[in-house]
Amino acid sequence: MREENQFDFLENPVTTEIIRNALSSAAEEMNESLARSSYSPIIYEMKDCSVGIFNKDAELLGQSSGLPMFLGNLDECIKLTTEYIGGNNKYQPGDIFIMNDSYMAGTHLNDITVISPIFYKNDIVGFSATRAHWLDLGAKDPGYPMDATEIYQEGVRIPPTKIYDAGQPRKDIIDLITMNSRLRKSALGDLNAQIAACRTGENRMLDIIKRHGLDTIQRSIVDIFKQSEIMDKEHISRIPDGVYEEEGTLDNDGVTDEPVLVKVKVTVEGENLKIDLTGSSKQRKGMTNCGLAQTISACRVAFKHLISPDSQVTGGNFKTMEIVVPKKTIFSAEEPVACGWYFSALGLLIDLVIKALSPVLKEESAAAHYGDSMVVTFAGYDDKNDSSFLYVEPTAGGWGAFAADDGQSGLINNVNGDFKNLPVEVLEDKYPLKINSYGLRANSGGPGRNRGGLGIKREYELLSKDANLYLWFERSKTPAWGLFNGESGQKPRVTVKRSIEEETMLKVNARPITQGDLVVVETGGGGGFGHPFDRTPVLVLEDLLDGYIDKDEAQNKYGVVVEMKLDSYEIDYSKTEKYRRINR
Amino acid sequence: MGRYRLGVDIGGTFTDVVLHDKQTEHYSTEKIPTTPGNLSEGVLNGVTKLVEDFSDVDFFVHGTTVGLNAFLERKGAKMALIVTKGFRDLYEIGRANRSEIYNIQYRQPSPLIKRRNIYEVEERVLVDGSVGTSLNIESLEQVIENISEREYDSVSVCLLHAYKNPDHEKEIKTIIKEKLPRMSVSLSHEVVREWREYERTSTTVINAYIAPIVENYLTKFEKEAVNKGLDGSLYIMQSNGGVMTSEIAKEKPIQTLMSGPVGGTMGSIQLGKTTDHKNLICVDMGGTSFDVSIVINGEPDVTAEASLEKFPIMSPMVNIHTIGAGGGSIAWLEGGGLRVGPHSAGANPGPACYGNGGTEATVTDANLVLGRIDSEGFLGGNMKLDIDASFKAIEKLAIQLNLSVIETAEGICEIANAKMADAIRTLTISKGIDPRDFALVAFGGAGPMHSVLIAEHLGIDRILIPTVAGTFSAWGMLKTDIRHDDVRTFVSLLSDCDKEKMNALYQEMQRGTSDVLKQQKMQSNQMQFTWLADLRYVGQEYTVTVTCSPGKITDQSLKQLSQLFHENHLKIYGHNDPSGIVEVVNLRVVGYGKLENEEKATTTNKSQKKPDPIRMKPIVWYGQEEETPVYSIQDLSYGQEINGPTVIESPTSTIVVPANYHVDVDRVGNLEIIRRNNR
């Protein structure tokens, strides 16, 4: 006789683990399939996409996402679709649905979700779903605008819509959607890639069912969810009970100049964790609004950043995590507000949750990073190639220091995942722009025992006759904060220069510039961790020798006094000790 | 002509030696411990176990990890880097991407050159190759003065757009050589003439970083080999699947970085030829690694760009995907569930059974408990294993899982096999191929143990096990040709590209490549050249490399290129756009110097005798313990067949064959394992 398993698992743990890995791998395969056959670089290069496999109750079995933000936001779309069509019994084999509405799916209209039910022997057994960013969906400006004030300016809104009916494509509907794109071919290509990825997921799911049997799979899934729940509970229980609050602001919403408040209250009680966003800004006229589904995803991302970043997420996770968002805020947008820049407030939200919990999760936390995508866009006419051009670039910056190390310099922001910048040599070949310099911004990292990473400085020169400049730079009012007496990183700054005239700005829509104008963008640094006077003097000297800081910063911020001796700096230890003692 | 051909693969723990006797067509193998302190002496002493007098050796190839180790341990040259004014940090910033998306404590690897050793000179070449700012000699002289004071081993120069116009880089070298005649200077356009400044810089820097270490090692090795009588050249295995003489290796040490594992892929191609399989998935599983490479239509999957610890390397390399931890993968519990990997016990402490203080259960421990590995016969008896330690380690998990030790052990192996199969399937999907159309080649110490079970998960019906599975990389090195690659970035629409210019670039590369082959004593009739072009649809970022018939670029050849591109795009990405505008990005030339390396069968007589097992042994199969015959590979000969379940032991690995499979022995002693009642 065997003893009862302490967790009351239903299936053999070996079988369960093989099935768990197979489901996760099936999602990886869907992702590979999507990346392989999509048309747009934003999908196959930037990985602005996510895929998942679900059971018939829309609970996550396996997922793979390119951007961290897309963690677990597809289940909500499946549930909404099922509700919209009147229940699971309305699905037929071969059906495919599409949707993008921001208030339902959570993100901006460019993110298209495709859902396909999976049938085994005439019964619905699950779903496969994909989300990917389409380049254009008929917004008022190409791509998506910077100054929309209503969702109708941002593109076509699609509720859950059947585009394949029992295996037959509905050409009229597909045309209706893709004809509204300025890039119809790419839209069709990406749609087909998403459908192919759903098929890959369906085939793998059916293979797994055939190999192990449906009953076994269903028992194993119960066990897999239970494992996830046990792990979450273990993790949350380790956080001391308490209420942890933080707040910060975005500079503005791009249309009105009033700061956008983000308030976070995290309550930990035993195995339960609640994130309450009450008090955050009402929904705004500008585009910094986000649908509820995506806000929930962002809270989960923050949790995952701090706790078990390596473990696989399933439908069993987040059962003891509650998220409270009052209606009609920037985090629960409702018609008719615009949602194009839904991620700016989410980047801040994630940083704030980490900050709130940092007193009790010191080792896992990190000081704030430079904060947002810091997008610079040039649009105009390229005289040399006789064609119009559009260059959009998110800019890297400094990341926050943490208990074990300095923050990383010159790294892309949290919502952009593994995005790679364009090499200067390629950029200059493709666009009428010249890069005059590209480097780290000295002294921009927040001082601390561990130093925040440095922001970058990049100078563009316009080579064509004229063009329009668009900027979305953020977080000058709440720059990257330090933790545990570490200091903030420097704020971002953009300077537009024409001969001797100079003008600084952070956000701008379609500002005309002409040949020879210089645009100098500087991004912020990351926050420091620990008191800067606790930084080992040798490390301060090293930073000075490498030019990450200058002599004044070494003395004024780190209290390290150095002298020039024989062409090189040396630490004056007694003066340093004295300076640190007096000025602390 | 000498009698022998000699292949040596120097790994981290063991050095594998394969000696091919051309008279008898016999291969002898040897596995000797690597002596990190004095590599060349250790290796040569090991080799002399097989052959005393090197004057009988007319081909000596070896794969070396000295360059790789210098890089991994950060023990390379002390370097300065000179860049265009305004771009001092391009090397440190790289492409600014964050590959671990949920990690808020992410750090890029530390650059090989500190910022203080990076110097800017005033100059600027523009995108069209014209000079925007001339080289400021004064600013350069100031930099050279600083460099001379700091005792660098070498200086690398990487200027913007030098792939297009390298004049400033050349001028800088001339001036440095005037002032500092003994300084080693490497120029980015000479290492790789391809655009993308960060990748080119990273490649140039790694090359210079490992250069003095590789050079010292090879010089010493050559000297000792000559002392033992070697009068032919010493060849070095390259990452691109070819070999080069040690002279060339000193100039292009970056080509040695992946020289070890590539031998296995090249060996697999040869094995595929003799067994008539052109599509192969090659699995190299050792104690701490699990590497997969793919051969399509008899050609290795070569990528033009690879990365090492996140540093990009613009240099053609056989694609080797590391997708697991091998026999050292640790079994553990999470949320009450059983997990295997990704953490590994590594070589130290290693699995519990190594007796080096490891207490966690690994895949190797599970194999031992199941009877699939012999505690006495591991690595040909070179290492005794502690089965009690394995049992204890697995028992700890078994109690918590409420399973028996045997069930847990078999579960660990099953999970590991299924995971490896999952990872291989994902890899094949990304390449647009179906694993069921492929044969699996398994080698390395642990590969043959798991291969059949992995193949079963993948629906693969044929598994090839080389007779020298444990030393297969060294064997594969004997099956290669000399190879040299060159590249030029040439960005133009295919429809209106300058054919004269394109021709001139191809001819220039072919002449250069031919010179390099001549330096390696190749005659014209031994040389072969392939012309390639990297193409894409306008607007795309990635390129597809297609073959272009060498000779002269004509309208016809451009048309052919375009057609091939559309076809390959469809194959790789699942769609294409025959009306799309195609753009050329890079032109490439690959030169081969053909070496004598054909496999000859030793026998044509099928053995009629049934093989005798060396012993019977209880082994667990699908939960049931069964008396199973164990054979020695040395007793098997051409034409013999064995039915599973069985275990076949070779001096360097163990081959596990469940029921439902049978084993054929081919003319040269390789094993082909075939699933019975093919699906």
Rg of the Cα trace of chain A? 26
Other beta carbons less than 10 A from residue B600's beta carbon? 9
pLDDT tens, position by position, A77-101 = 999 999 999 999 999 999 999 999 9
- Give the A window 166-225 contacts with B, CB below 8 Å: 185, 189, 192-193, 196, 200, 223-224
pLDDT along chain B (679 residues), means of 10: 87 83 87 78 82 89 89 94 98 92 92 97 97 97 95 96 98 97 95 96 96 93 90 91 94 89 93 91 84 93 89 93 82 94 83 91 94 73 84 96 95 94 88 90 88 93 90 92 95 93 96 95 94 89 88 91 92 82 95 84 77 92 90 89 92 88 89 81
pLDDT tens, position by position, A322-333 = 999 999 999 999
- Give the A window 493-512 contacts with B, CB below 8 Å: none
Degrees to nearest 5, angle at CA A290 with A286 and A294: 160
Residue A85 sits at φ, ψ, to 5 deg, of: -90, -5
Quote the CA–CA distance of B272 and B101 in Å, as a whole number: 40
The tokens 């040690």 sit on which residue?
B246
Helices vs strands, H then E, count in chain A:
13, 22
pLDDT of residue B325: 64
How far is CA B385 from each of CA B289, B363, B365, B447, rounded to the nearest angstrom? Answer: 20, 14, 9, 19
pLDDT of residue B607: 82
Under 8 Å CB pairs connecting chains A and B tally to 221
Would the CB atoms of B116 and A545 count as touching at under 8 Å?
yes
**Residue range B482-593, CATH number:** 3.30.1490
The tokens 């030393």 sit on which residue?
B471
pLDDT tens, position by position, A129-166 = 999 999 889 999 887 788 899 999 999 999 999 999 99
**In this structure, are residues A214 and A208 in contact, taking their beta carbons and an 8 Å threshold?**
no
The fourth-level CATH superfamily of domain B4-71+213-259 is ATPase, nucleotide binding domain (3.30.420.40)
Q: Does ipTM exceed 0.90? A: yes
Task: Give the DSSP per-residue string, B209-244.
Answer: HHHHHHHHHHHHHHHHHHHTT--S-EEEE-TTS-EE
pLDDT of residue A207: 93
Quote the CA–CA distance of A471 and A372 in Å, as a whole number: 12
Other beta carbons less than 10 A from residue B495's beta carbon? 11
Quote the CA–CA distance of B654 and B377 in Å, as a whole number: 9
| Cα–chain center distance at B644 | 32
Residues in chain A with CB shorter than 8 Å from the CB of B370 are: none
Would the CB atoms of A21 and B418 count as touching at under 8 Å?
yes
Would the CB atoms of A35 and B430 count as touching at under 8 Å?
yes
Structure-block tokens of residue A346: 């989410």
Quote the CA–CA distance of A117 and B8 in Å, as a whole number: 55
Q: Which CATH class is domain B77-210?
A: alpha beta
pLDDT of residue B576: 83
Residues in chain B with CB shorter than 8 Å from the CB of A42 are: none
Q: How confident is the model at residue A4 (pLDDT cuts 50, 70, 90)?
A: very low
Quote the CA–CA distance of A142 and A65 in Å, as a whole number: 26
Of the candidates B657, B673, B677, which has an alpha carbon nearest to the alpha carbon of residue B665?
B673
pLDDT tens, position by position, A452-503 = 999 999 999 999 999 999 999 999 999 999 999 999 999 999 999 998 899 9
Other beta carbons less than 10 A from residue B310's beta carbon? 12
Quote the CA–CA distance of B453 and B440 in Å, as a whole number: 11
**In this structure, are residues B642 and B630 in contact, taking their beta carbons and an 8 Å threshold?**
no
Would the CB atoms of B575 and A67 count as touching at under 8 Å?
no
Mean pLDDT, chain A, as a whole number? 93
pLDDT of residue B601: 65
What percent of chain A lies above the pLDDT cut of 70?
98
Sign of CA dihedral A401, A404, A405, A410: negative
Domain definitions of chain A by residue range: 13-230, 366-530, 536-583
Instruction: Closest CB to A426: pick one of B195, B334, B418.
Output: B195
**In this structure, are residues B227 and B252 in contact, taking their beta carbons and an 8 Å threshold?**
no
Structure-block tokens of residue A18: 């093989």
Residue B70 sits at φ, ψ, to 5 deg, of: -60, -40
What is the rounded end-to-end Cα distance, in angstroms, of chain A?
Answer: 68
Q: Does A492 contact B at CB distance below 8 Å?
A: no
pTM of the model: 0.93
Class of residue A472 by CB neighbours under 10 A (exposed 0-12, middle 13-18, buried 19+): buried
Residue B353 sits at φ, ψ, to 5 deg, of: -70, -15
pLDDT tens, position by position, A352-379 = 999 999 999 999 999 999 999 999 999 9
Quote the CA–CA distance of B269 and B255 in Å, as a whole number: 20
pLDDT of residue B679: 42
Show Cβ contacts of residue B388 under 8 Å, excluding neighbours closer than 6 positions: none
Q: Does A37 contact B at CB distance below 8 Å?
A: yes
Would the CB atoms of B418 and A18 count as touching at under 8 Å?
yes
pLDDT of residue A390: 84
State which H helix or E strand residue A79 sits in: helix A74-85
Degrees to nearest 5, angle at CA A186 with A182 and A189: 145
Residues in chain A with CB shorter than 8 Å from the CB of B414 are: 14, 18
Average pLDDT over residues A217-246: 96
Look at strands A161-165 and A96-99 and give their pairing. Answer: antiparallel
How far is CA A290 from each of CA A50, A142, A338, A374, A393, rounded to the nearest angstrom? Answer: 18, 21, 8, 18, 22
Give the ranges where A157-213 is alpha helix by DSSP (H): 171-178, 184-212
Instruction: Closest CB to B402: pick one of A2, A231, A425.
Output: A2
**In this structure, are residues B218 and B256 in contact, taking their beta carbons and an 8 Å threshold?**
no
> Looking at A270-349, which runs of residues are DSSP E strands?
272-276, 321-324
pLDDT of residue A370: 97
**In this structure, are residues B674 and B399 in contact, taking their beta carbons and an 8 Å threshold?**
no
Quote the CA–CA distance of A202 and A51 in Å, as a whole number: 12
pLDDT of residue A539: 98
- Give the B window 531-550 contacts with A, CB below 8 Å: 539-542
Residues in chain A with CB shorter than 8 Å from the CB of B573 are: 36-37
Show Cβ contacts of residue A438 under 8 Å, excluding neighbours closer than 6 positions: A424, A456, A457, A458, A459, B86, B87, B89, B90, B93
Show Cβ contacts of residue B671 under 8 Å, excluding neighbours closer than 6 positions: B464, B465, B467, B633, B636, B648, B655, B663, B664, B665
Other beta carbons less than 10 A from residue B509's beta carbon? 23
Instruction: Closest CB to A439: pick one of B88, B198, B199.
Output: B88
How far is CA B97 from each of CA A444, A456, B93, B108, rounded to the nearest angstrom? Answer: 20, 14, 9, 9
Quote the CA–CA distance of B433 and B392 in Å, as a whole number: 43
| Cα–chain center distance at A137 | 21
**In this structure, are residues B119 and B147 in contact, taking their beta carbons and an 8 Å threshold?**
yes
Q: Does B220 contact A at CB distance below 8 Å?
A: no
